[in-house]
Structures are given as C-alpha cells and as structure tokens.
Structure 1
C-alpha cells in the first residue's frame, strides 16, 4: 500500500496540519519529508488516555493551497495556570456502540474526535471509499499513502486522478534508500519468492508506516471482515492499535478506525459506482486486492480477493505487517503449520543472522559469566505471544543496527518448560522481557519500559554498554 498525507478543507474552510520530524540519515526522507521513527506498541489496552493539545503546523511535503488553511496562532495560546485535561476513552465499549453504525457515521465520529491528529491510509485500491466518506462528512481530513517504489503504473495514475477529483495533495512516505539498497544488493530484487514477503514488506512498508504513525494519534484504514478469512474476520470498527504507537508513545497511544469493517466488498463497489468516483483501472483487469506489482496478480472468478496477494504463501496469514495485530496465536504465522487436531505450531520470531538463538545451557552460561568479552541484550519471548510478534520488527532492526558494534543480540524462548526457570533466574514477568547483560557484571539489568521501538531500545543499550 502507498502511504501518504493530504488534507482537505472540505466545507469548514480551514485545514489543520501535524508536523513530522525528519530523520537525518535518510536521503529519501531528506527529499520528501518524514516523521520520526516509531516503535512497536506492546499492550492493547482498551482504556486509553489522550491529551487534548493541538498545534497548527504544516503537513508532510505539502504547501497549503489557501492562506486561511493555517489555524491562527492565537488559537494555540494557553492561558497561564491552565491545566491540560485528559480524556479517557474505552474503545472496546465504543466499538460495541458503533457496531451497527454506517461507515459515514463512523468516519464522522473519527474525524470529530481526533481532528488534525488522524489521517486516512490510502492504498490505491477500493479504499478510495474512505476519502469519499470523509468528504461527505464536511469535515477537514488528511490522507496518507506508502510508496514502496514497486507499485503498478496504473496505481500511480490513480493517485493523480484522486488528487484532482478531490482537490487534495497526497503526500507519500518512502522507504529508507540505504535499507532498500542493502536488501537488494544482498538478496536480489525478488528474494521474497524464496523466503517470504515479510522482510521486503518490513523495509518498504512497515518502517515507513511506523514513522508516519508516530505523528498521529489515530489512523483510518479500509480493512473489512470479508477481505481475509484468516486474519480480518473479527476486525472491529475502532480499536486501540495492537502493533503501532502514536505521537505520545507507549501503551495505547494510537487508535485504529475501520469504518467499512462490516461492509461487504460488493457493497463498497455499489457505493463507488453510485458516487461516480475514480477507481484504479487494474480492477477492470481482474485485480481486486492491489499491492506491489511483483506480489499482486488478478484472481479468477470464484477466487477470494486475497488469493491474488503473495499467492506462493499460506492463504490464511496474508498480512504484510501493516495489520499484523490481526494474526492471532492460533493463526498461521509465516511458515507455521496446523495439525490434524486443530492445534498450531507458530513460526519462530526474530529470525535473522544478527540475533543469536540461545539454548537453556547457553543462557545459563551467560548468567554465570562475570567477565564477558562483550555485553549482551537478550529478549525472553514466546512465538505465540502477540506482544512479542508486535515488537519483532523493532528487535530485528535493533540487531541490525548493533551488528559489528561489540554488543551481542540474542533471544531465549522462555515459555513451556523454560518458564519457571526464566521467572526464577531471569526476572521474567511477562512476555516479552528484555535483559541487558553488562560486560563486567553477572547480574542482568531488566529493561523497565513499555516502549519497545528501536530508538528506545538503543538508548537503553547505549546507556549501559
């Protein structure tokens, strides 16, 4: 999916914008703009606190089309002694209340509640319906899209048509040029056909998305329950995002809205035809679910739409990582298998040459050493744990950044028969638990924070190494 930002003044005549901090180490980001990196959200609490502060700033790589599109500075002045109020929202309860609401009503509620701090994720497929619903609310709205660099030409043309039709500017998030270069040089252009799409998607889609969402408090997606029987059948209309975090960081800092979750695909298309909005020309060629060109193909009559995505992999776990929180413990995960009795064996996590897989004797030896040659950071995990799955990308990235630095990165599977040992000897409280083993000390230091993004983990390691 292509991820970008836009804003529309709609009927209200003024647009609100959010700022995104530029990373200093990315050529593409320097050219096109970006937000600061985002870590994995670890605990999907349903009661979440959000501050009510607002600011008027320019969006990613977009110029305001009208002079009145910037909120007057007086609107941001805070009176002396004013105490910021905090809103507490139970999103599980709200999801139940909106379960039978129309997509228009859900969209209106989302835009009303989050204003400038929410944006629509537009993939270049039939989720153009989201933009149409946003327009119909009469409220200002923002749109973003991920440009992976491997989209179909028809998709790029479609983006341009959407911009012209709605009078908006879609602003794109791009993958890091250095990361893409390293992946292609080491594994070639089509490695995903051999070892799965997750690594490529992590570089081209997930990490840019993480940067983008770090500048938001909520986002709007086009997920539907009928899109993927293995992963999206229970998608609620609103939820605390179980994978990503927003601008405030930490537990429950990002809310995910899915206004068309309960809408059938055929009804979405009836709506698009009725409203006479532009659609991607690939749809007329048999494409239903549209992603990157090498990983998307038309489907035959009677085939499910997701069968056109990553067709060489298991059909029950087709998520690129943008909605990885949909994959449950019992769902196939990558190379996982399902046994005849219905139980599942999940694929392992943190599978990379930069992460050392520690056995029970290995972790015991690490505990006994008082003078190690190098410090270690080790995650205690369980492959079935959704919070461990959520931090997989950031931990793998941590290992990549620490490669050759003198700090070893390891993992120890601490569930099952090893759980008691981990609780007694390794300070395991819940999964995942992250430990740092200093170079000249036998006692490991437990990472105390719920923030498990790569920047926070790097700061922890740098402070102790």
Structure 2
C-alpha cells in the first residue's frame, strides 16, 4: 500500500498538514492507497460544532515553541516538587477509580482536560473508547497514526467511525524522509529479518511523540488482559512515564486507560450491544490489528497478541507506544538472556500443572534426547511460565495430556528459559515459546510440531499421525 504523507520532513508538520474544516459543502477526497476517503464537514458530538471547536483547540500535532532561558535552580526544585505532587495525585485518583466503569472514567478525563485531551484511535476495539466518549455528551477529539501500511479494512473503519459520530479524526503521518531512508537502505520488509522496533519507531512512535506534544492528556485502549506479560498492571490513570505533553518534560502528560480492567470478551459484548462499526478483519480471525505486513489471524489456542509480529519471540510483542507500562521485572523475564533464572522469573507461578503432565528436569530431557530405543513415545512442550503464549495454550495442553492417559504416550514439559535457553536452542530446536516436540518410540531425533494451532484436536492429530 502506498504511503500517505503530507510533508517531506518532521519540521514541516504544521497547521497545513491536517485537514481544514471549511464551510463549503463540497467534499474533498483524501487518497489512501487505492481508494479515497471523503473529507466531509461534520459536526462534533457535544455543544460545539467542529469548526467552532477547531478554532479553540491546539492542533494535536503541534510542537510548542519555547524560548530558551536559564532556569534558576530554585525554580527547578519547585518544578520537581510539583511533578511529584502531580504523580501522587493521579496515583490516588487511579486508586479511587479502580472499580469505576469505563464511562465514568472517560467522563472524568474529558471533564478535567476538555480540549487538551484526545483519544488515540487505532481501530479494532478502540471504537469502544469513542462510544464511551460519545455517551458522556461532552465534546471530544480523536487522533490516529496512519503508518501508511494499514489494511484497507482499517481505513474503511476510520471513515465509518467519522460518519457515525460526526467527528473528524486528526491523522498523524510518519516523516517522509525517515521512511524513505529506511526503505532505501533496508528494503520494504527489513523487520522480518532484524525485528520490528526500528520500523515502528519511524512509523508510529515518532509521529505519536509529535501528536502528544500538543496535548496535556491522552486516552488509550490498553487492557491488562491484552498481554499478561507486559500490561498486567496498567492503571486507569497515570502520569505518562515516557512521553511529554504540551508543557514539556517528563510528567507533563497524563495517560488515561478507561478499559484497563475490562476483559476482551466484555468489550466485544459492549460493541455488539451498541451496534457500532468494527473492523471487518475481526470476522476473519484477526483480534489485535496493526499494520498489514505485521498482522495475521489468531489461530486456535493462541493468545491475541500472537497475531502481531508472529515471527518474533514473546519479548518483542510491543511496538513502543506503551513501553512505560512494562514493569522492570517483566522486562527481566522477557529478556531471555540465558544468564540464569532471575528472581523475577523465580516468582512467576508455574503452568501446565497436572498429574498427567510430567515435569522434566535438565537431566531428564537430556536423557530423553539420548535414548535411541524408547519404550514409549513422548510429547514435550518447551515453555516459559511468564510467556503469555504458553499461558494461552495451557488449557488445551493439559486437556490433551488427560486424553492421552493410558494410551502409551507420555506427555511432559520442560522449562526452557533462563540458564536452559541456550541448551534448548542448540539441542531441542527452540525458536520461540512455546515449542512442542514429539519423541518417537524408535528414533533418537525429536519431531517439531510445525503448526501454530494449539487446540486439542490439532495437537491430537499431530500425535496420532506419529504414534
């Protein structure tokens, strides 16, 4: 898909980079890839119409100009104390709102920040955020990051949302020069070889940073259950630990997460009940939706984030937009540096706990590899208990083990992170967690399960084909 940009450098991102709202009734077409989205004058939800509100609101992408000056040490100290008080204030507010509904949290956010707050909309379930904002009856703003590599279905969703809610999404685009340099130097699909972080930084993180420079707060669709390894302690409101707001400096931006405590299935029940537009890709098995080259449907037994950057290990399933919500101990767990089990890893509850699943030690798995004439075949999962994708298949794997009891096939598990990771990579073909191996009865070489379908029927079909 062609990259849609409006300027050739980040410094050129100015008022002219965003759609102007005129009184003309003649629609203008914005070109996205192979089809157009009509730029129609619309009226925003709430008391002000959009053109009136636009004159009152600082552009979402504005980077404020600040005069260079020498700040006295005393003033710096006072500012630091203010930041600490602000952080404590929002920690208390997060505690007070912990059991509040998403609607109540959204209303509080819009009430406190008015025109200086905006909803970050990436499609998918983020429609729920806009529906909650609409239900408050307050004016609200919406911005979105157009990476230039989104699915056509995502662009169509954007247009449907604008139409339903009578709003105009404020699009942020990556810097054309940076994208050009990346593609010319490393090609269109370099992220398949060296990881997605560099591409995400150019196409998502930096445009987001520019957008947030024009705000004092933003609203996201983060949920704790989206990625148990990295988002398990997302608060409903916090001082953003990474990005800067309108006033500049860490602590100048507040981040609201109204659906942090809501389960994914509850979000979908809400969307169906309200009959709002959703991304057509959801009906094709997509759950978490990002850029087209980096997103695919989720298979049975997989966690929803496994549809993103599927060629990478669990440690890389974040793009950088919410890295401030990754706990330090989570980072240690996800590093997979092979230097031994950290204290953080040691405290994670083990998984696949069942009398039907044999827990293999390092010596046990080594002996299993060495045996050329086994008395019975083995099915073994190489796992890490902190891995959300291992957690997602726990139920199906345990069910399979119970079904195979008495069949002559042993079902086992081997924890292959920490100090065992290098061994597992070299001797057991570990690529990412989880890896499933079948050790035949009369062969020394294990057979790696080739599919990412981890439901009971798929795993059983694999075993029956080899037993």
Fold equivalence (TM over 0.5):
yes
Kindly state the Cα deviation for residue 36 of structure 1 after the two structures are TM-superposed.
2.4
Q: Relative to total residues, which structure has the larger helix share, 1 or 2?
A: 2
TM-score, normalising length: structure 1: 0.58
SS in 2 for 1:227: coil
Match of 1:172, SS?
strand
Which structure would you say has the larger Rg? 2
The within-5 A match list for 1:349-368 is none
Matches within 5 A, 1:72-83: none
Partner of 2:325 in structure 1?
Answer: 326
Q: Distance in 1 between matches of 2:81 and 2:280?
A: 42
Show structure 1 runs of 5+ residues with no match.
22-33, 39-44, 51-85, 346-465
Distance 1:258 1:8 in 2: 26
Displacement after TM superposition at 1:307 (Å): 0.4
Structure 1 residue 168: Cα displacement: 1.1
Contact 2:209 2:243 in 1 (8 A): yes
Distance 2:58 2:80 in 1: 27
Contact 1:316 1:331 survives alignment (8 Å): no
Residues 44 and 166 in structure 2, CA contact (< 8 A), matched pair in contact too: no
- Say which SS state the counterpart of residue 143 (structure 2) adopts: strand
Deviation at 1:239, TM superposition (A): 0.5
Give 2:182's aligned residue: 183
Q: Offset of 1:253 from its aligned partner?
A: 0.2
Q: How does 1:194-205 map to 2 (within 5 A)?
A: 194-205=193-204
TM-score when normalising by structure 2: 0.58
Matches of 1:96 and 1:136, distance apart in 2: 24
Corresponding residue of 1:36? 63
Partner of 1:103 in structure 2? Answer: 102
Q: Contact between 2:63 and 2:213, CA under 8 Å: does it hold in 1?
A: yes
Q: 1:319 offset after TM fit, Å?
A: 1.2
CA change 1:231–1:182 in 2 (3 A) is: same
Partner residue of 1:141?
140
The partner residue of 1:9 within 38, 44, 52 is: 44
Root-mean-square deviation (Å) = 3.0
Kindly state the Cα deviation for residue 19 of structure 1 after the two structures are TM-superposed.
2.6
Displacement of 1:175 after TM fit?
Answer: 0.3
Q: Structure 1 residue 8: deviation in Å?
A: 6.2
User: Which segments of 5 or more consecutive residues in structure 2 lack a partner in the other structure?
Assistant: 6-17, 22-41, 66-78, 346-467
Determine if contact 2:178/2:202 at 8 Å carries over to the other structure: yes
1:44-123 pair list within 5 angstroms: 90-123=89-122
What is the number of equivalent residue pairs in this alignment? 291
Q: Is the 8 A contact 2:179 2:202 kept in 1?
A: yes
Structure 1 stretches of 4+ with a deviation exceeding 6 A read: 2-8, 86-89
Going from structure 1 to structure 2, the CA distance change for 1:162 and 1:13 (only over 3 Å counts) comes to: same
Q: Which has the higher contact order (CA 8 A, sep 6+)?
A: 1
| In 2: Cα distance, 1:89 partner to 1:115 partner | 22
Partner of 2:58: 19
